[in-house]
Amino acid sequence: MASVLSSSQCQFCSRDSKYTCPRCNAPYCSSACYKHQDHAQCSEGFYRSMVEQELRDGTVSEESRKKMMEILQRVNTGALALEEAQEEPLDSDDDDDEEELAQRMAGVDLSNSDAVWKNLTEEERQEFQDLIKTGNFQDLIPPWTPWWEQEVPQVQEVATSGSSTPTYALSCPAILDVPLLSDIQKLSPSPCIPFNILNVLAAYAWTVRLFNGDHQESSQDATEALFVLSSVLASNANFEEASLAVESPKMEAQNHLWLMESEEFSSMIKRDVWKILKGPTSCDKTFYVRAALSEIHVLLSTCKVSLTKKKKCGKRQGILPTKLLQDDNQVELKLTTLPAVKLALKKVEFLLSFVKEYSSILANMSPS
C-alpha cells in the first residue's frame, strides 16, 4: 500500500502534506496542489514527459500509425486552434492541405519518428512542439473505448456454422485455455483469491485507460504500471475485503506521479471493475473477468519477449522524434524484471484456473 512520504505542511495550501515532489522536493497534499501554478516548472515538465513516454515506447502498430497521421493532419490544418476557439468549420483550403501532407508522407515509414519529423515544415514542427508543451496533445488522440463497455443485446445470435461463440466475444480479448484449479493443486483455494482478482482487475483497468488502449504496444511500461498498481501481481499480497482490493491501485498511484489521476478517473476505475465482474450476460458473468486476465497474460508474455530481446534491440523507438525526447523522462523499470514477469504469468494462469472452476464465487460477488 502507498506510504506517507512527508508530514510537513503543503507548500501550496495550508493543509498537511502527504507527498513530496521527486524533482524539487516540495511537499504537497494532492494532485491539485501538484498542478499549482507555483509548481508549474515541475508539473508541466512531468505531464509533457508522460505524453512523450506514452507515444515513444514499444512497436508502433498499424492503429498507432493511423493515429499519428490523423494528428499530423490536424496539426497541419490548425484544427485544434479552431476547435478551442469557436468550433468554426474548416475552410476549403484544408482539404488541399491534407492532400498535400498525405503526398509528402506517402513514402515515409510512420513508425520512424525522425523520418516523419524531417518531412514536416517548420510551421508544423513548431505547432507540434507547442501542443506538447501546453499539454493539448492529448486532445488530438482519439479516445479509446473499453471492450467491456459494449452494448450486449439480450438475445444473442448463433452463427449459422453451428459455432456457439456469442457475438460479444468478438470484441473481447481471446480467452486463454487453462486447466481446472483442482487439476494443478490438491489444496482448497484461499478465501482471499476472489478479492485478489478484484485487485488485479482494478490495476488492469487503470493501466489500459492510462495508456488509452495502447498498452500492448508499450508492454514494458504497461507491465511496470500493472506491477506498481497491483501488489497481488508484484508481490504475495492478499486482500480480505473487496473495497480495499479495488481501492489499492489508487493508493499506490499516489506515490508514482506518472500514474496519478483525478478522483473522477479513480471512480471510473471502480465502475470498470464492477462492469467486468458483472459480465456481458447473466448466464456468462465471468466471461469479462477471464477476458481481462487473458489480456494481462498476453501483455506479460509480450513484455517477457521484449525483455529477453532487450540487449539485441537497443534503445526503444517511438513515434516522437528523438530531438523532443529526454533520457531522464523515461519510466524507470523498477519492478519489471524477467523473473518477476515469469512469476506474474504463473499467477495469472492460476487466477484463470480458479475462475474456470469457481466461477460461481465470483458471480455471487458481482452486482445484480
For residue 42, is it within any domain? no
Confidence of residue 203 (pLDDT cuts 50, 70, 90): very high
Name residue 57's amino acid. Answer: D
pLDDT over 90 (residue 101): no
pLDDT for the residue numbered 4: 36
Handedness of CA 96, 67, 264, 262 (dihedral sign): negative
Confidence of residue 116 (pLDDT cuts 50, 70, 90): confident
**Rounded mean pLDDT, 137-142:** 61
- How many C-beta neighbours within 10 Å does residue 239 have? 21
d(CA 208, CA 227): 13
d(CA 142, CA 106): 22
pLDDT for the residue numbered 319: 37
Same domain (yes/no): 216, 115: no
For residue 38, is it within any domain? no
Same domain (yes/no): 225, 343: yes
Number of domains in the chain: 2
Locus of grid cell 493508493: 251
Same domain (yes/no): 97, 242: no
Per this entry, what is the length of the chain? 368
pLDDT digits over 220-273, tens only? Answer: 999 999 999 999 999 989 999 999 999 999 999 988 888 988 899 999 999 999
pLDDT over 70 (residue 154): no
pLDDT for the residue numbered 253: 94
pLDDT digits over 51-84, tens only? Answer: 445 444 444 455 555 656 666 665 555 544 444 4
Helix (H, G, I), strand (E, B) or coil at 117: helix
Give the Cα-Cα-Cα angle 259, 261, 262 (nearest 5 degrees): 170
φ/ψ of residue 355, rounded to 5 = -60, -40
Longest CA pairwise span in the chain (Å): 71
The H-assigned helical ranges of 38-78 are 40-56, 62-77
Same domain (yes/no): 136, 203: no
Q: What is the DSSP string of 112-147?
A: -HHHHHHTS-HHHHHHHHHHHHHTGGGGGSPPP--G
Confidence of residue 191 (pLDDT cuts 50, 70, 90): very high
Same domain (yes/no): 179, 310: yes
- Residue 261's contacts (CB-CB under 8 Å, 6 or more residues apart) are 31, 206, 210, 253
Same domain (yes/no): 110, 217: no
Rounded to 10 deg, the angle between the 122-134 and 40-56 helix axes is 120
**Rounded mean pLDDT, 351-366:** 91
For residue 237, is it within any domain? yes
Same domain (yes/no): 132, 192: no
d(CA 288, CA 147): 9
Same domain (yes/no): 205, 115: no
For residue 43, is it within any domain? no
For residue 11, is it within any domain? no
Outline where DSSP puts E strands in the chain.
Answer: 19-20, 27-28
Q: Of the segments 23-27, 28-32, 277-281, 343-347, which one has the largest average pLDDT value? A: 343-347
For residue 128, is it within any domain? yes
Same domain (yes/no): 253, 121: no
For residue 17, is it within any domain? no
Same domain (yes/no): 301, 176: yes
- Residue 58's contacts (CB-CB under 8 Å, 6 or more residues apart) are 214, 216, 217, 218, 219, 220, 221, 306, 316, 318
Beta bridge partners of 20: 27
C-beta of residue 248 within 8 angstroms of C-beta of residue 226: no
- The CA distances from residue 275 to 154, 354, 367, in Å, are 16, 20, 8
Q: Give the structural domain span for 209.
A: 170-365
Rounded to 10 deg, the angle between the 338-357 and 193-210 helix axes is 120
Same domain (yes/no): 134, 215: no
pTM reported for the whole predicted model: 0.66
d(CA 93, CA 98): 9
C-beta of residue 265 within 8 angstroms of C-beta of residue 31: no
Same domain (yes/no): 255, 203: yes
For residue 276, is it within any domain? yes
pLDDT for the residue numbered 110: 66
